[in-house]
Amino acid sequence: MKKLILLTAFFTITLCNSQVFIGANDNKLQLATNLQNNATGVNISYDYGLGENISVGISSSYALSINDNISASFGDRFDAKVRFNAHLGSVVNIDEHFDIYPGLNLSLKNFGGHLGMRYFFSDGFGLFTEFNVPLAKYNADVLDAGEKLHNQFTLNLGASFNL
Query: Does the structure show a pLDDT above 90 at 60?
Result: yes
State the pLDDT at residue 14.
41
SS3 121: coil
For the chain, give the mean pLDDT: 89
Which H/E stretch holds residue 154?
Answer: strand 154-162
Helices (H), the chain: 2-16, 74-77, 89-92
Q: Report whether pLDDT(138) > 80.
A: yes
Q: How many CB atoms neighbour CB 120 within 10 A?
A: 25
Strand ranges, E, within 7-143: 27-36, 39-49, 54-66, 78-86, 98-107, 110-120, 125-137
Q: For residue range 80-118, list pLDDT tens digits in order.
A: 999 999 999 888 888 989 999 999 999 999 999 999 999
Average of per-residue pLDDT across 122-130: 95
Q: What is the pLDDT of residue 1?
A: 52
pLDDT > 90 fraction of the chain, expressed in percent and rounded = 73
How confident is the model over 49-72, as a mean pLDDT? 94
139-150 pLDDT, tens digit each: 989 999 999 999
Question: What are the boundaries of each domain within the chain?
Answer: 2-162
Structure letter (DSSP) for residue 19 = -
By C-alpha distance, which of 133, 28, 33 is closest to 87? 28
Per-residue pLDDT at 3: 56
Q: What is the model's pTM?
A: 0.84
| CATH C-level class of 2-162 | mainly beta
- Is the pLDDT at 18 greater than 50? The verdict is no
Alpha carbons 19 and 6: distance in angstroms, whole number? 22
As a whole-number percent, the residues of the chain with pLDDT over 70 amount to 88
